[in-house]
Structure 1
């Protein structure tokens, strides 16, 4: 009788374990593809009559008109378009004007008044008054901590721009991490480094050791023959290890190695391993595509956006050209296997990778249990990046595709959203409750996406150092101090009329202006609370699973 009782208890235990596992697998996988320096206007689904054309980098590029309506330079994004129509895309989403603060907004769900990342080179000191404040110190409930608490295995891939060890990502594949900046790494000599010559700092091409003849910046390669570092990969002998390290990978590595391909291969490897173990995963894919870079294959050109491998869409599938790049020491022949320069080619390649993602989901049998989000960190370089005028610097794309959510919204959504909204959205999906006394500036998109709710937020916010941008559905205040009437969207997504006479607009416009003015003082703290408060923000309550107390 006792043995029978033991067997019953054991079987009940197995049933509970099986139930827990099935519940865990029911939790949707989440992929956030966060592109680099891409305005909403560059994505065709947004319908702008104007987009960006190829220009030169540095001072030469600043003198050129980047705007064009030439279809030759229009990105082709059939897969993004499909996801945006079958899922939805938000008409107006704000980030910050430049990458560091925008990534801080994404990773913390908070604005700079809390995390203190006002600009790439303007970050508040930590509570001890020394170095910049790490995001995981200023905001302990980051996007990785939320996903981890929700039972997800986590992966960070691509651009970092920050200390990585304090987050809760299980694994990672980092392109041109801080460890590679201005330092020669044994895997590749594709880098731009600085050194002093006659007391002046000058830039040199690491491939040729020749001085650059134009303005650029220190950079490790994140496209061709790239710098790549892996975090906690199962084959690693160290926590952070330079790739390639296996004999097979070293043999294949070289001029034809394209970083976006390598990154996606590692992401897919992670997805395969987790799906096999029936573990839900969260992928934070911070792509370098969209960002300008030094063109090592044309070192004298000062091209702004290096070419990508050639791809072709036939209406059903992409075919990628096998690249054939030869040469050395600054003299190369690409044998017509890569594109010319231009941000439209980067966006085309992103669409190719979106197509690869969708195919991988189907291959793994998770296409109906995976949420896919595409967005970008700030506006296009040469057009709006670093601009606080109107919404040029902060208007980015946001596409959400999530069959698992049974979304009530399809196609274009004439609402406003913030990049800060992604973290609380993930918290909702993961079933994680953020403490009520822990300030989050984002608002979950789930209520809007899954109900008959017709609005999402009343106002959205962006920033550039001490300048702030805020808007509702009727008026916008730019960082230049001017107010704009945004009640109608112009065909270039930016030429909003400036309000010079408030008597010429409606009572609703004036009322919204007054409401936005009341909001701003809470966040405009650059001059008065630039650094961390002494002692930090005190004890922070832990994240909870909803329903658990």
Structure 2
């Protein structure tokens, strides 16, 4: 009888295993090191997700925030390629070779692609037993040099040279429905997500831990989105950007992302007065933000698919996820730049759209900060930051942080127990200037301890962050402005005239950093700047209210 009982019990157990979902067997794979997923949004403003004050539906990012940690202060390099260079290498962008953009201006610090001395996250983690994967935007390579598959990544999407080099995201596709709108299966955000999910599925069956760099192109222009996503935001932006900004600011204070006594930055003089626009103009502008919100919504849905795959494969508890944006929301206007007006062949949101949200809506996206992408004010260099790691990070935390993208590499290396090599492939490696964020993420510190300060330079725009002080100047001016960010992160009051000693001390620090890092005075490089980038700067100054719409 005992034998028969044992046989029946064994048979029942086998039936349970066979009937279990695919993830059941995969759950038994043990990995000694944590998986790491780094998610970057493109041109997403500080306040564009729910957990940072937005009305846009981002339940998956909000879940990561409620189950993880948010930083009030986390910095990028203000624009795409320089940010990605620092993110991937842990170097200031000039040290990595991308001091200006993905253009070669004739100096090693400005060659426009990653140099060999600046090791990528994938190269270092791969050497220490990680499978390395990337899906999405790259934008730090040259002519068949520094491609992602040449810089440590095992699995790459898209795997072609033109896509890797291009910095122009294409949310539109070659496949449209009968009304000219993109088809879901071919929509860029969905395709990037699908490849990331497939990578996770494949790697979950193996013993190696994995590192996934998930670099979305959304919500960067052109404004193209799926009709079902746009429909969710119909009429939500008829109130205009001034009212939206006020609502987001109040929400941020309730969330604890900004202080209760925080001050909003001063509105740019050329941002349109919503109340003075005609009904038709308001409808046209509102449609732009409806599409932009739809793009952010779809990005969040993609993150939801990643989370579901982690759950299905039993990887969630052993995975760190970090979410950030590459710069603040943009000010460029495609109607008068990048041949935008002539490229429009369909309404906003469709495959024929070549529109941007422009600085009017970005003014709300960057709440409560001053300025936009490419500027060194807080609106240009501030990013939302969410870290989620159920096994280690306490749920619902908000910390000051004062982190920077150069801190991501040392954070990941410490977490993974990897050693950063002094030499790699016979080339001496640039030392890492950043600090590990683990003490902040794990609740041992509220902010990064960094006596040396932080520094920025891009096309002549400069800044220093040292303690509560922020020194900043905007090219072609060489005049320093000084702000106390502890009491004025909106940068409303320049106190340089009453703090000459601070200005002097921080400017000395800046020039010392610039010399060590390979930064040169931009006036010596301006003649080599591409005409398209000169026009880019001009596109950030708006025409009188209501001017210039493409096909609507």
1:390 CA drift (Å): 2.0
Structure 1: how far apart are the matches of 2:221 and 2:330?
7
Structure 1: how far apart are the matches of 2:51 and 2:160?
31
Match for residue 111 of structure 2? Answer: 132
Structure 2: how far apart are the matches of 1:169 and 1:175?
11
1:452 aligns with 2:444: yes
- The change in CA–CA distance for 1:30 and 1:180 in structure 2 (over 3 A counts) is closer
Match for residue 63 of structure 2? Answer: 82
Show structure 2 runs of 5+ residues with no match.
1-27, 142-146, 176-181, 233-286, 332-358, 360-370, 423-428, 526-552
1:476 aligns with 2:460: no
Partners of 2:33 and 2:209 within 8 A in 1: yes
Tell me which protein shows more helix as a share of its residues.
2
Match for residue 37 of structure 1? Answer: 43
Structure-to-structure mapping, 1:153-168, within 5 angstroms: 153-161=131-139, 162=141, 163-168=147-152
Match for residue 14 of structure 2? Answer: none
Match for residue 249 of structure 2? Answer: none
Structure 2: how far apart are the matches of 1:498 and 1:529?
25
- TM-score, normalised relative to structure 1: 0.61
Deviations 1:469-521 (Å, cap 9, x if unpaired)? 2213411112324333333466xx63442114325x9x999977876676555
1:259 aligns with 2:188: yes
Counterpart pick for 1:392 among 367, 371, 379: 379
- TM-score, normalised relative to structure 2: 0.61
Counterpart pick for 1:525 among 519, 533, 538: 519
Partners of 1:225 and 1:256 within 8 A in 2: no
Structure 2: how far apart are the matches of 1:23 and 1:434?
27
1:94 CA drift (Å): 1.4
SS of the equivalent of 1:501 reads helix
Structure 1: how far apart are the matches of 2:50 and 2:467?
22
Counterpart pick for 2:157 among 154, 157, 173: 173
SS of the equivalent of 2:412 reads helix
- The change in CA–CA distance for 1:79 and 1:363 in structure 2 (over 3 A counts) is same
- The change in CA–CA distance for 1:36 and 1:77 in structure 2 (over 3 A counts) is same
SS of the equivalent of 1:113 reads helix
Let me know the Cα RMSD of the aligned residues. 3.9
Match for residue 467 of structure 1? Answer: 461
1:462 CA drift (Å): 2.9
1:415 CA drift (Å): 2.3
Structure 1: how far apart are the matches of 2:50 and 2:43?
16
1:380 aligns with 2:366: no
Deviations 1:218-271 (Å, cap 9, x if unpaired)? 957344337xxxxxxxxxxxxxxxxxxxxxxxxxx9685212112211211111
Match for residue 498 of structure 1? Answer: 494
- The change in CA–CA distance for 1:417 and 1:36 in structure 2 (over 3 A counts) is same
Match for residue 254 of structure 2? Answer: none
Deviations 1:508-535 (Å, cap 9, x if unpaired)? 999778766765553462239999xxxx
SS of the equivalent of 2:402 reads strand
Deviations 1:187-241 (Å, cap 9, x if unpaired)? xxxxxxxxxxxxxxxxxxxxxxxxxxxxxxx957344337xxxxxxxxxxxxxxx
Structure 1: how far apart are the matches of 2:295 and 2:206?
34
Counterpart pick for 1:353 among 302, 319, 324: 302
Show structure 1 runs of 5+ residues with no match.
1-21, 48-70, 183-217, 227-252, 294-304, 315-337, 532-549
Structure-to-structure mapping, 1:191-340, within 5 angstroms: 221-225=170-174, 257-293=186-222, 305-311=223-229
Between Structure 1 and Structure 2, how many residues are aligned?
384
Structure 1: how far apart are the matches of 2:48 and 2:412?
26
Partners of 1:115 and 1:138 within 8 A in 2: yes
1:379 CA drift (Å): 1.2
Structure 1: how far apart are the matches of 2:293 and 2:487?
23
Deviations 1:53-107 (Å, cap 9, x if unpaired)? xxxxxxxxxxxxxxxxxx8xx4222322232232111111111121011110111
Match for residue 540 of structure 2? Answer: none
Match for residue 487 of structure 1? Answer: 485
1:311 CA drift (Å): 4.7
Match for residue 150 of structure 1? Answer: 128
Partners of 2:31 and 2:209 within 8 A in 1: yes
Structure 2: how far apart are the matches of 1:435 and 1:340?
46
Structure 2: how far apart are the matches of 1:179 and 1:390?
31
Tell me which protein shows more strand as a share of its residues.
1
Partners of 2:103 and 2:112 within 8 A in 1: no
Partners of 2:99 and 2:112 within 8 A in 1: no
Deviations 1:167-193 (Å, cap 9, x if unpaired)? 1111111289625999xxxxxxxxxxx
Partners of 1:292 and 1:381 within 8 A in 2: no
Structure 1: how far apart are the matches of 2:293 and 2:160?
23
Structure 2: how far apart are the matches of 1:419 and 1:351?
22
SS of the equivalent of 1:403 reads coil
Match for residue 362 of structure 2? Answer: none
Larger deviation, residues 92-101 vs 377-386: 377-386
Partners of 2:95 and 2:518 within 8 A in 1: no
Structure 1: how far apart are the matches of 2:148 and 2:215?
13
1:367 aligns with 2:316: yes
- The change in CA–CA distance for 1:369 and 1:256 in structure 2 (over 3 A counts) is closer
1:391 CA drift (Å): 2.4
